[in-house]
Chain A
Amino acid sequence: DAGITQSPRHKVTETGTPVTLRCHQTENHRYMYWYRQDPGHGLRLIHYSYGVKDTDKGEVSDGYSVSRSKTEDFLLTLESATSSQTSVYFCAISEEQGSNEAFFGQGTRLTVV
């Protein structure tokens, strides 16, 4: 399996609190992604990164911010969590050229109460 680790794996938090999810890779891949998955919606892209300090928004970026200060770490922050952000969050990594093969982490189940 690709070296990708998400932390925490499970988290329960209260509405209005900040939350940071971490994605760590040991593959030195350029691209990193954050997705959320909800019943009936498949995977939806939140933000992605194409290099250190290079990030861009995906289709559901409102309420989320990201940072990538080094190649191996991609952080997803919910500045003020809401119940609508209760979801399973997946991080993924991929190489730059020649393949759309992305490797996914095991996911983080976040519950906002």
Chain B
Amino acid sequence: LAKTTQPISMDSYEGQEVNITCSHNNIATNDYITWYQQFPSQGPRFIIQGYKTKVTNEVASLFIPADRKSSTLSLPRVSLSDTAVYYCLVVLYSGSARQLTFGSGTQLTVLP
């Protein structure tokens, strides 16, 4: 089963670019890499997903090397409102079903 490992916490300052790396050494051929964001007292919110190389949307970029054993979520020019927990997730398949299994996440704190 693919398990993810990411830093427990990170600090940054407003206006900086933040990169959060996740390792998933046992990722399966058909797994997608997905990132979620969670604010206190709310459910997680999908940010971005990718399979390989680079994916960019209006919120973030996701970089995935060729071996797919890790991925990096990049948040450009963070603001105080980006303070949240960020989860890296790979999909675990069980027969015809799909499990979405979260790791412990990375607490990002953006400082003024």
Interface residues of A (CB under 8 A from B): 31, 33, 35, 40-45, 48, 50, 54, 56, 58-59, 90, 92, 94, 96, 99-107
Contacts and interface: CB of A to CB of B under 8 A. Distances in A.
Contacts of A94: 98, 100
A54 B97 contact: yes
29 contacts: A31-B97, A33-B100, A41-B104, A42-B102, A42-B104, A43-B87, A44-B102, A45-B99, A45-B101, A45-B102, A48-B98, A50-B96, A50-B97, A56-B99, A92-B43, A92-B44, A92-B100, A94-B98, A94-B100, A100-B32, A100-B34, A100-B46, A100-B91, A101-B34, A103-B46, A104-B43, A106-B42, A107-B42, A107-B43
Given A42-B103, A50-B98, A94-B100, A101 B46 contact: yes
Contacts of B102: 35, 42-45
B53 to A, nearest CB: 17
Given A100-B32, A100-B49, A101-B34, 20 more contacts: A31-B97, A41-B104, A42-B104, A42-B105, A43-B87, A44-B102, A45-B101, A48-B99, A48-B100, A50-B96, A50-B98, A56-B99, A58-B101, A59-B101, A99-B49, A100-B46, A101-B46, A101-B49, A102-B46, A107-B43
Contacts, number: 68
A56 B101 CA distance: 13
